[in-house]
Each structure stands twice: as C-alpha cells, then as structure tokens.
Structure 1
C-alpha cells in the first residue's frame, strides 16, 4: 500500500515528468507573444475597444452658412421616411442614414491594412464615426466651394477605420459582383480614388433637372445622388436587411427606381444633412421647421 501511495505521489503536477521542458518553453513563448501583442495593441479586447471608439465617436457636422453643400463638409446622407400608400407595406419605416458596415472586418486578422468594405443603412440619425462622410473634390475645385448639380464629387469616411480614407464606390453588376440580398449593383468602400468613386447630385424633379444643372446643391433638401460611372442612383430598397454587430441594418445599393411618370421613387431620395448652427449637438434634420427658401431665390435670380 505504501508503495502504491508513493507511486501515485510521483504523478503530482509539480513533478517534472514527460515533455516538461517543451511545455515550459511553450508557456514562455505564449507569455512573450501576449506581452508583444499588448504593447502593439493587437489583443482582441484592445481591437474591440479601438473599433468602438472610432465607430461610436460623436462627430460634429459642418454648418452651412449659405444653405448649400460645400467641398470639405462633413455630412450625413439620410434617406427620409416616406409613408407608403399601400397598407400591407413590408418595408421598414423611419429615416435611415448611410453607414459603414463592419461585418466584413475580422478582429482576429493581423493585417494592418484591414478595413471595412461594405455599407448599409441604419436607423440612427445621430452623427457618429460610422455614418458621417466628407465631401471631396475630384476636379480641382477648392475646399469651401459649393457643389453644383451635375458636378462630380467623392464621399470619404471620417471614422478612422484604417490608416487612410476610404471612398464610397460602385461598379457594374457582374456574375461575381452584386449585392447579397437584392442581387443588384452593390455599393462598397475602396481605398483607391477613381471614376468608380465619382458621384453627382441631381435635382429631385426630373422636369426641372436640366434647368437647375450648374446651380449649387442645397443642404438638408431631397436630392438624387447618382453614380457617375454607371449612371445608377444610390438607393435603399427598405425590404432587405441583415444582422450586424449593432443589430438590424438595411441594404444599400445602386439602382434607379422609377415610377409610372419616369420619376425616381423615394428609395432614391437623399438629404445631405449638415450641422445645426444654433446647437452643436444637433443637426438641421432635428430642427422642427426648416426654412430652405433656396428654390425661390434661384428662380428669382433666373428671372432677373
């Protein structure tokens, strides 16, 4: 019995048996790897914290003093809520803002250039890192100049998801390239500025579209945003959604929805939202009674 007890005692964890030297070396390597990743900010919890800080960081929108959108402005793109006439409408109600979709990010990847590539529409209308964009010049126009109807511009991210700015882009639908839910032309983010990242604003009424070509684009008013390279308009179908890190989000595509009068439907309506000059914590969309007045001014200037 004593011999058996001595034999059992020899197998306690503190006894160096088996490949004890290799196990000890492996533990030391794991500890060094942990300390190295912590110093470089590559631990999973550090990545999550950094991502949350950039995504949910409150962004102050640019204030438009003249009521127009300018190059260099930080804005939100908002698809307004339109009450459908049909009773059995299956789409989502409420205003939606264009936002960076983070589902394609792998927090376990060690690639330094890893960046989000997808976009979605979210129900939050508060300006934060993931749903605010910077209006960029692509034709040499100076920062601060108003954007005109029919003029090319680009939209860059402001959330700091990667080392460089990402641009809103699209391309023709193909066998390998299409949106996941609607199977139409997809909208993505890219780090390369090209014709696929050029966009134009068009006047809402197609009968007056040519008449307003070259006039400044008003802020906080409904416009059509069209992709220059494919001539299809930015849209939210409101019937296709996915689950993300932040809950239910809705698909954004490039597709022109036309009604019986050959006019764009509300799926293609967008407001370029700017900041509220009277309150830094709110936007012009939050104001109860906006006073655009820009159409009358332009018409008056034309008559003169």
Structure 2
C-alpha cells in the first residue's frame, strides 16, 4: 500500500482555480505593459538610447566661445597624487528622472534634479552636451568673455533643458562621497545657476578679464554665488547606470602657491571643423580603452590663444 498513488497529475487540489486565474491575470498584465513599453528593461533601453544619442557640437570659426554654442566640458587630468584620464561633465539619470507628457506629448524627457559626474567617454552625445546660455538677455552669437556671468543648460528635447546649479553646502545637501558642495541639474533658472569663466593662470588673470574666452583651452569655471570652482575628483568614484565615473563638485583646490590645481582645470570642447561628428579632443586624444596595447598614447594638446585686439 505504500506504493499506491492517491492522486495523479490530473487531480486538482486546493485553490487551483484561484491560482490559475492569478497566472492568467499576471500574463495579461505583462503583455499589456510590454505593448505600452512600460517594462523595466524597455524603459532602461529607452533611457540609454535617448541619452546616448549623438549630438553635433558647435564649430567655432575663430576659436572663441559664443552664447548659444553647444560644447562639452572636459577635465583633462587630475592631481599628481590622483591622476585620471580626461573626463566629461555628464548627466547621471535613472528611470525616476524620466517623465512624459501623457496628454500633450508622448515623447519622454528628463526631469530634475539630476546628478552629474565625470564620464570617460569623449564622444559628444545628449548626456555630455551643454549649451552656453545668457543670464542677462544677451543675444546668441555674442562672444563670451572672462568674468562674465553665464549659465550652462542641457540640450532641448530628451535632456529637458536643465541648468547646471550649485548652492552652499549644508549637512543635508552635499556631495555623497566627498561631502563637498554639490553640483546638480535643476529645472528652474536662478542665481544659483550662474557661472563665470576665470583664466587658469593667476598671474595673468587680471590682464585677461573682459577678453573673449577661447575654446579648447584650460580655464576655471567658478560659481558666482559661492565663488567655488567646478572640480572633478579622481579619488571619489561613483558607480552609475553608465559605469564607473568621477564625482563632480564645486570646490576650489589650491596648491602651496595659492593657485588652482588641475582638478579645477576644464576645457570647453567644440567640434572639429574637418569632421563635425567628433570633437577636437577626440582627434587629439587616443582612448586607452580602445588602444590599450599602445605603449605611448597621444596626449591632449593644449594651446593657449592670444588675446583679441
């Protein structure tokens, strides 16, 4: 009697009808969400597809930056103790930042606030392209000058037109790892979104005040409200949906000579006039990821332009 089977596979016991109904409803819900593109894997793919879409940077004919130009911000190197490869100021966004106008427009867009970080990719895309924007009504096409207030805005469309902002550090609002002054992207424009370009050499800073800013050269980007410079921290690594990136804060690092360190040195990168689909930095720099077997990769060429008469 121990080997007699009381039930076979066709016998239904317990709440079998309820279990079958729940499975059917779960399958219907899955197919409905898949049709609407609401699955997590679909949303993640949509986010990466839109935020990594290539962007054409502005081609500067005379080398000077102007309001309305689309550029990349690149920190070329870290400090001697914490060196790093060139990194671009980039948007850090996840699914919580993706919104859509269900009644007006179905196209998704990013909603602030969003984090920023230093990504290793030098390819211009929605994630790392910024527009130089006026804060006092100056028309597009006007030359940007040293010590002149301006704003940095993400591109229109999926990037949402967010503004790069910072504010005084508090106990509750600061950078996650370094606990320094936080930098983020916000929707509303205000005084905390104002920045100014400062000549990187302190000994020649006064002489350059009011002169046009030349692209693809080292500069400092100082926050108008707090007077702290934008910095990329090589010793503070963030793990983001896009990989390993450096933390970006607003903090001025000074050496023994009271000069800003390399963490505060940035470059406004424009497009290569000969090939507009890539930046000038891409042409000058060979990525160690794709050319890891080369013993001596090319370094970034930094030429300082002369003053405009």
TM range (shorter): 0.7 to 0.9
Q: Structure 1 residues 212 and 140 mapped into 2: Cα distance closer, same or farther (>3 Å)?
A: same
The answer as to whether partners of 1:132 and 1:159 remain within 8 angstroms in 2 is no
Corresponding residue for residue 252 of structure 2? 256
Which TM-score applies when normalising by structure 1?
0.82
The alpha-carbon deviation at position 273 of structure 1 amounts to 0.2
Equivalent in the alignment of 1:184: 180
Match of 2:66 among 49, 63, 70: 70
Residues 279 and 239 from structure 1, CA distance in 2 versus in 1: closer, same or farther, beyond 3 angstroms?
same
Bigger Cα Rg: 1
Residues in 2 aligned to 1:110 and 1:173: alpha-carbon distance in whole angstroms: 27
- Say which structure is richer in helix: 1
Superposed CA RMSD in Å reads 2.8
Contact 1:76 1:274 in 2 (8 A): yes
Structure 1 spans left out of the alignment, 5+ residues: none
Report how far residue 292 of structure 1 moved.
Answer: 5.8
Say whether 1:245 aligns with 2:256: no
How far has the Cα of 1:261 moved from its partner? 2.7
List per-residue Cα deviations over 1:105-135 (Å, max 9, x = no partner).
Answer: 247x997576562111122222122222122
Match of 1:100 among 62, 83, 91: 91
Q: Which residue of 2 aligns with 1:122?
A: 119
Aligned length: 284
* Residue number among 135, 145, 150 corresponding to 2:147 in the alignment: 150
Do residues 172 (structure 1) and 168 (structure 2) align?
Answer: yes
Q: In the superposition, relative to structure 1, how do residues 257 and 291 fare at CA in structure 2: closer, same or farther (>3 Å)?
A: closer
1:23/1:159 Cα in 2 relative to 1: closer, same or farther (>3 Å)?
farther
CA contact (8 A) 1:284 1:290 kept: no
Normalized against structure 2, the TM-score is what?
0.81
Gaps of 5+ in 2: 101-109, 285-299
Q: Residue 32 of structure 1 aligns with which residue?
A: 28
Q: Which residue of 2 aligns with 1:57?
A: 53
Give the match for residue 235 of structure 1: 231
2:130 corresponding residue in structure 1: 133
The answer to whether the 8 Å contact 1:146/1:216 transfers is yes
Q: Kindly tell me: are residues 191 and 276 of structure 1, through their superposed partners in 2, closer, same or farther at Cα, counting changes over 3 Å?
A: same
CA distance in 2: counterparts of 1:248 and 1:291, whole angstroms: 26
Report the CA distance shift for 1:32/1:138 in structure 2 as closer, same or farther (over 3 A): farther
The verdict on how the C-alpha distance between 1:110 and 1:69 changes in structure 2, with shifts beyond 3 A counting, is closer
**Helix, strand or coil at the partner of 1:272:** strand
What is the alpha-carbon distance in structure 2 between the residues aligned to residue 291 and residue 266 of structure 1? 13
Deviates more, 1:151-160 or 1:93-102: 151-160
SS at match of 2:235: coil
Asked whether the 8 Å contact 1:51–1:161 carries over to 2, the reply is no
Provide the secondary structure at the position in 1 that maps to 2:208.
coil
Question: Which aligned pairs between 1:7-26 and structure 2 lie closer than 5 A?
Answer: 7-9=6-8, 12=9, 17-26=13-22
1:226 matched to 2:217? The reply is no
Q: 1:279 aligns with which of 275, 280, 288?
A: 275
Q: Distance in 1 between matches of 2:243 and 2:98?
A: 26
Residue number in structure 1 paired with 2:292: none
Distance 1:137 1:110 in 2: 27
